[in-house]
Structure 1
Amino acid sequence: MNILIHPTYFPNIAHFVAMVKAKHVVFEMDDNFVKQTYRNRTYIYGANGKLALNIPVIHSQKNRQKYRDVKIFNDENWQSLHWKSLLSAYRTSPFFEYYEDELQPLFQTKATYILDFNMTCFEVICDCLQLELDSSKTETFQKTTEGTTDFRSLVNAKKEQPQTFETYTQVFSNKHGFIPNLSILDLLFNEGPNALNYLESQTLASQ
């Protein structure tokens, strides 16, 4: 199966389940930027439950902007805040130290464009997962697709389908129970090398 999907900020489990099951992954690179989506947001499991990490962007709602042209608002020290949040949430997880050195540079080097940064994060995660994907990028925007399953709806943080993924042990699950479909980081820090096996064994709710 060939799929079309948005590059997002540390994609959630649903995104990765779709990708690992695909024969070929096509990344949507030519759409318009939309606020309040996973393009610049991911969710982790904090001490008080589900926690959103948002990348601030310079975006005008009046004039449509291509996703690839949207710049990160680096006047805010968001990278430091995100890294501190990850430390607070996962430093006691079984595999945080195992991946820390690969991930920390992402929060120390300034990036200009949100799409480029998301792709860099994705490549680092694939290295951590030891996942090799056959992928390509779109060059023009197509509203409908032929011969490719359209998973672009997964980018909508507000309208996502409930997913019934198998439970795995999370750091604060004794406080708030299992929270499904968080950032791939949650799975990686808790399951480590088993994360890829987990993704391959899951089934997506129909879109």
Structure 2
Amino acid sequence: MIVSINQPAYLPWLGYFDRIAKSDLHIVLDHVQFEKNSMVPRNKIRTPQGWTWLTVPVLTKGRSSEATIQDIGVNNQASWGKKHWKALQANYARAPHFAPHKSFFEDVFQETWEQLFPLLERTNGYLMDAFNISTPLVRSSELRPKERKSELVLELCKKVEATTYISGPFGREYLNLPAFEAAEIEVVFHDYPHPEYNQVFDGFEPYMSAIDLLFNYGPDSRGVLDSSCESLTPCCGV
């Protein structure tokens, strides 16, 4: 059982989906503390000038510092949905495959989202379908873990009977690799080489939201997503 674990993110980049595609099961880390400056509520889209942020405003003032991702509310006083929809129209209307996905995103941005996590579930689920990724998902909150940091990752892996764990590259800095070895769980690191492809504007900007690829390549997006060379690096000694 090859398992990956990641916090959900708003319209994530390609590496997020590549890691899921390489997994037999993906655990959505929804029970951990929300970090305001993380990629959970925001991501980048392409513009003629380069790129810009799309950020979902969240309700943090007066909230507990221990508020989790699954509990974070959305600040709908900012009319963010209308702004995001206008940004997509302004920058992707001429993209070759914007039209087939237009109605979905228009509906998403017209809906009132009281909490952030359901929005992430809806949009990321749509992108997984568009990229033909069928990896099953489970929320970490459903597994009721008790540990933190490296011990949390190991606990979650054990709960789903993982034999291989796909870690992000920063796992090299904090994972207790001997503990994984003792549990007979192989650790591999996901170093995703970003593919270069034609974007709607001249030049290439990497690390955009995955919608950038989708709007430009449509049904051929999965081929581009998979086109980079091998991205999994075995961990020495495990």
Amino acid at match of 2:117: L
User: 2:73 aligned with 1:47, yes or no?
Assistant: no
Q: Secondary structure at the match of 2:195?
A: coil
The aligned residue for residue 198 of structure 1 is 224
Tell me the TM-score normalized by structure 2. 0.76
Distance 1:109 1:39 in 2: 19
Q: Secondary structure at the match of 2:76?
A: coil
Match of 1:185 among 207, 211, 216: 211
C-alpha RMSD of the superposition? 2.4
The aligned residue for residue 158 of structure 1 is none
- Are 2:96 and 2:217, in contact at CA under 8 Å, matched by a contact in 1? yes
User: 2:31 aligned with 1:5, yes or no?
Assistant: no
How has the CA–CA distance of structure 1 residues 162 and 127 changed in structure 2, closer, same or farther, with 3 Å as cutoff?
closer
Tell me how far 1:11 sits from its aligned partner: 1.1
Report the more deviating stretch, 88-97 or 121-130: 121-130
What do the CA deviations read for 1:51-76 (whole angstroms, capped 9, x no partner)? 10011000147632111111000011
Match of 1:80 among 57, 78, 82: 82
Distance 2:216 2:204 in 1: 12
Q: How does 1:30-179 map to 2 (within 5 A)?
A: 30-60=31-61, 63-139=65-141, 140-141=144-145, 142=147, 143-144=149-150, 145-146=153-154, 147=162, 148-151=165-168, 164-172=193-201, 174=202, 177-179=203-205
What do the CA deviations read for 1:13-37 (whole angstroms, capped 9, x no partner)? 1101111111211110110000111
Distance 1:67 1:201 in 2: 32
Distance 2:22 2:36 in 1: 28
Tell me the TM-score normalized by structure 1. 0.86
Task: Tell which structure's C-alpha radius of gyration is larger.
Answer: 2
Distance 2:27 2:13 in 1: 17
How has the CA–CA distance of structure 1 residues 163 and 110 changed in structure 2, closer, same or farther, with 3 Å as cutoff?
same
How has the CA–CA distance of structure 1 residues 136 and 152 changed in structure 2, closer, same or farther, with 3 Å as cutoff?
farther
Distance 1:31 1:149 in 2: 19
- Are 1:163 and 1:180, in contact at CA under 8 Å, matched by a contact in 2? no
The aligned residue for residue 16 of structure 2 is 15
Q: With a CA cutoff of 8 Å and minimum separation of 6, indicate the structure with the bigger relative contact order.
A: 1
How has the CA–CA distance of structure 1 residues 204 and 183 changed in structure 2, closer, same or farther, with 3 Å as cutoff?
farther
- Are 1:14 and 1:204, in contact at CA under 8 Å, matched by a contact in 2? no
Distance 1:200 1:24 in 2: 18
- Are 2:191 and 2:231, in contact at CA under 8 Å, matched by a contact in 1? no
Q: Secondary structure at the match of 1:136?
A: strand
What do the CA deviations read for 1:159-203 (whole angstroms, capped 9, x no partner)? xx996422100011x2xx211121010000011111112222335
Distance 1:80 1:37 in 2: 23
Tell me how far 1:102 sits from its aligned partner: 2.2
Percent identity, aligned pairs only, is 22
The aligned residue for residue 157 of structure 1 is none
How has the CA–CA distance of structure 1 residues 81 and 67 changed in structure 2, closer, same or farther, with 3 Å as cutoff?
same
Distance 1:162 1:47 in 2: 29
| Structure 2 unaligned spans of 5+ | 155-161, 172-189, 234-238
